[in-house]
A and B are shown apart, each in its own frame.
Chain A
């Protein structure tokens, strides 16, 4: 499809397990973002990738969170030793380069930690 694709759409796992979330950006979009949206709250920035530059990891809440992206392709967000407070919707967005270019969002992965 033409939009940002995220998988899985829903993930339920037990506390302490590791999870991996995937984002396929729009083709040609050099910038990619991960956000976290807790229930009833706004979006919390996690990490930003721009081409082959070093990622901006300033939003990652703890060292249990990490993300990778190879070039301008797929990105994966990994959460190790999940905690109940990690339950949220994780949204990915991509855009073309240029400050004024808008971010296009995927539908998110709803993560529930039991």
Chain B
């Protein structure tokens, strides 16, 4: 199956930008997703990008996709304390029914 990797931790100061990175291995992945998980809750879909795009912006969120390097990033502008959570990158794979998830990046926002 697909391997999706993320760094485990990121700390930023309130008001700064956060950049969470993700790499994946299957070049046939068509859709790539970012999910947010707050303590005790399930995963909340933040945004997703189709593989023929290299950027998608949605309010404070910017997703960048480098398909050649199989690298995905999520930028959160003007990071707030409410953004503290675990962020999961996920990729689909041709022929597979499920998504493949990274281990998640725990974002801590320092007031």
* Nearest opposing residue in chain A for B48, CB measure: A102
A102 to B50 CA separation, bound complex (whole angstroms):
12
**Distance (whole angstroms) from the CB of A65 to the closest CB of chain B:** 15
The answer to whether B97 touches A48, judged by C-beta atoms less than 8 angstroms apart, is yes
Determine the chain A residues whose CB is within 8 A of the CB of B88 once the complex forms: 42-43
Number of A-B residue pairs at CB separation under 8 A:
57
Q: A56 to B50, Cβ gap below 8 A?
A: no
Interface size class of chain B, counting residues whose CB lies under 8 Å from the partner chain = 20 to 34
B2 → chain A closest CB, angstroms: 11
Q: What is the distance, in angstroms, from B34's C-beta to the closest C-beta of chain A? A: 11
A77 CB–B CB distance under 8 Å: no
Q: A42-B88, A99-B30, A99-B31 are in contact. Are A4 and B101 (CB under 8 A)?
A: no
CB distance from A83 to the nearest CB of B (A): 23
Kindly list chain B residues whose C-beta atoms are within 8 Å of the C-beta of A91. 42-43
Q: Is the CB of A42 within 8 A of B45?
A: no
Contact partner of A102 (CB less than 8 A), chosen from B45, B100, B102, B104, is: B45
* Number of chain A residues whose Cβ lies closer than 8 Å to a Cβ of chain B: 25
With A33-B98, A103-B45 as contacts: A41 and B103 at CB distance below 8 Å:
yes
A25 touches B (CB below 8 Å): no
For the complex, what is the distance from the CA of A108 to the CA of B41, rounded to whole Å?
A: 7
Residues of A within 8 A of B (CB): 4, 6, 31, 33, 35, 40-43, 45, 48, 50, 56, 59, 91, 93, 99-100, 102-108
Q: 5 A-B pairs, CB-CB below 8 angstroms?
A: A33-B97, A43-B88, A43-B90, A48-B98, A108-B41
**What is the interface of chain B, defined by CB distance below 8 A to chain A?**
4, 30-31, 33, 35, 40-45, 48, 50, 88, 90, 92, 97-104
